[in-house]
Structure 1
Amino acid sequence: MADRLEQSKALASDTRLSILGWLSEPDTYFPHQVTGRPSEIGVCVTLLSDKLGMAQPTVSRHLEILRRAGFLTVNRIGRWSFFKRDEAAISQFKAWINDHL
């Protein structure tokens, strides 16, 4: 189980909340990804960088925080990284919040 304090900190960013929101419906928000369906392989960092209007290293840092918190998984294909939500981990965190607030 991921550290709940670290997970809470990971959610304390509008950028990271936007990423999680878009990744909840990746085929809707990233239909132009050519490598594969975003819902199957995840979303490429480059597309997330473009959507956020941020440099790729900055977006990669946000993605790494979400990954370490357990909210994202990474799928490496060649030299590219594709990110997906870990729905089980997100559901567990939501249940924990409901139980403790």
Structure 2
Amino acid sequence: MEPLLIYKALSNDTRQQILLWLKNPENYFEEEPYLQQGISFQVGVCVGEIQLKTGLAQSVISNYLLTMKNAGLLESERIGRWTYYRRNEKTIQEFAEYVQKEL
């Protein structure tokens, strides 16, 4: 875990919002298209769905997701043409413990 990378990733409101959405994706994204494909939110949420929800350009969202993945906050899985992102709960928990202990 690299705390500085995590702080940087969390310094953007939209990245924080994405992390919140991915905590309980069923509250923020339509589940039916995933179920029709035999995929659950445990796999993650498709980049395109995240991009639509933010209203930002696909390239911006891809950059945001990559920043969070490089910080260890997200994991990704590619299925066919699509990439799905989910939270990395282990790293998030480690960071929470670090903040509690160190700050």
Q: TM-score, normalised by structure 1?
A: 0.92
Cα distance between partner residues in 2 of 1:72 and 1:33: 23
Distance change (3 Å), C-alpha of 1:5 and 1:52: same
Q: What amino acid is aligned across from residue 37 of structure 1 in structure 2?
A: S
Cα distance between partner residues in 2 of 1:54 and 1:20: 16
Question: What does residue 61 of structure 2 align with?
Answer: 59
Tell me, yes or no, if the aligned pair for 1:27 and 1:37 is still in contact at 8 Å.
Answer: no
Question: What does residue 13 of structure 1 align with?
Answer: 12
How many residue pairs are counted as aligned between the two chains? Answer: 99
Matched, 1:73 2:75: yes
The ranges of structure 1 where at least 4 consecutive aligned residues each deviate by more than 3 angstroms after the TM superposition are none
Q: TM-score, normalised by structure 2?
A: 0.91
**CA displacement 1:50-100 (0-9 Å, x = unmatched):** 100011111010000000000000010011100000011100000000011
Greater RCO, 1 or 2 (C-alpha within 8 Å, sep 6+): 2
| Overall identity of the aligned pairs, in % | 37
Q: For the aligned residues, what is the CA RMSD?
A: 1.1
